Structure 1
Amino acid sequence: MNVLVLLAIILFALMIWIGGKKGARSFLSLFLNFGVILVSVFFMMDPNADPIIITLIACTVISCINLFYINEVNSKTVTAFISTLITVTILLFFIYIVTKKAMIQGFGEEEMDEISVIFSLYPGLDFVKISAAVIIMSTIGAVTDIAISITSPMQEIFNQHPSIKKKELFTSGLSIGKDILGSNTNTLFFAFIGGYMALLIWYKDLSYSFGDIVNSKIFSAEMITIFCAGIGIALVIPIASLINAHYLIKIRDKKK
């Protein structure tokens, strides 16, 4: 049996065993998200298409899958969805400016020999926008995860203390966010760097100095991705806390 199929079966079995129906939906969401990314790449290959707009649409669809398809439509997922869209929009334009200033778009000199043999180096694509799209696609999962991780316990706090004030509920959301901020930032760091361990070994074989490594385009792009992902995680915490607190208190006041 193919190793990939075997691993997929093991993952599916574990997710069903632990998560039940929600685990099954989570497993299917992996393929749905992959399909969204694949379609987005095909659209970005058109020189007349705007990668920023495509990325915003793709992130919206991915957020719907991760929040509404897996966790169903409720107050927690709705506020998490709104918080995710606001954060992604802010982060996307910030990343676009950073990518343009840092000039990390395009290919590094380590990639030129292999790519120039196979591909045209003048495809007519806006690599600044594509680089921004790649970074935001790398962070969308973490942003949605943090958003629902904030709104869900806030909902429980509100259910246990219906008379809680808006400021107190907002402060509770921030406290929850502080507890998960550090662990998620480190998770992203090791996830990205772990995938580039082979690159670091290659740098050693090329006898790169520390300065060469830090100033290389590939390494800089990876570190900027990590920093931007961390900024996105930090940014979504107060946004999700504020929106969810406002929403829950507004619903309570309407019922009264």
Structure 2
Amino acid sequence: MNTPVIIRTAIGTLICSALIAMSGVAASPGFADETQSGYAFLPGDPVIFSNGGTASGGVEGACTGGYVIRGDSGVFILGPKACSVIFSSVRGSDRNFGYVVSKSEPDGNALIRENPGDDAFQVVRDPLTGAQPGTGAIVGWMPSDQQSAGMLIGKMGIGTGWTEGRIVGAVDFRGQTLLCAEMKTGLGDAGGPVWRNDANGLRALGTIQAFDPVTTMGCYRPIQETLWNYGASLPSFGPDQGRPPFGQLAPGTPYLDLPGLAVPVKNIPVRGDWH
């Protein structure tokens, strides 16, 4: 495993295009002291949006941050579109660290640009306990057609933390095809990173976009489709996989009938605690 590197956000011209083209930035070795470098985001951390949430007035949308992606216009954090509004400021536990710059249909992820001096690491952690699968360092992403029914996977979220389960099938939800797994998912988990840790290392699979309130099954957008949608790549601690084409489901993936699917957004009072 390589020594973890910091992925420093490039603050450039604000771009509002739905299909934003992202860019790479230079990486510096080693973890920075957070007291010197500012806020340090990790996939799985809380993302709380001003003027967000599913209710109107007096609430913020409290959800989970996803992976870091990059392309021709800089480096961005994936956040759940349903939890945010365009140009909304974004905070972690106590202060703002970025703002929403793009929401591209039909993908369920919005793009968050960090403030100058704040950083992001491609290292997954449980927001409830701080635990990590292995070292937490993402070494790459898994193509959609390799994410087959029966595969054991995990996710992080501010609602239910680190949970695992097996992929059971696919579903169409709000214009996007999602994969669903029997991993407990609840309010606040929207946007959370989905991953698999095996002999190939810790790899990104996608981000939580929906759940079944009855079974608590979680459904996610495969990362390959999100990268294609934004013309982006995924910075990692492994070889560069580049910008992928649109993916396909694994052969034989069954389609599920889940009419009660909803987005697991959590509404909290303005400046309230997300726990």
Bigger relative CO (Cα 8 Å, ≥ 6 apart) = 1
**Global fold match (TM > 0.5):** no
Using structure 2 for the length normalisation, give the TM-score.
Answer: 0.23
The structure having more radius of gyration, on CA atoms, is 1
Using structure 1 for the length normalisation, give the TM-score.
Answer: 0.24
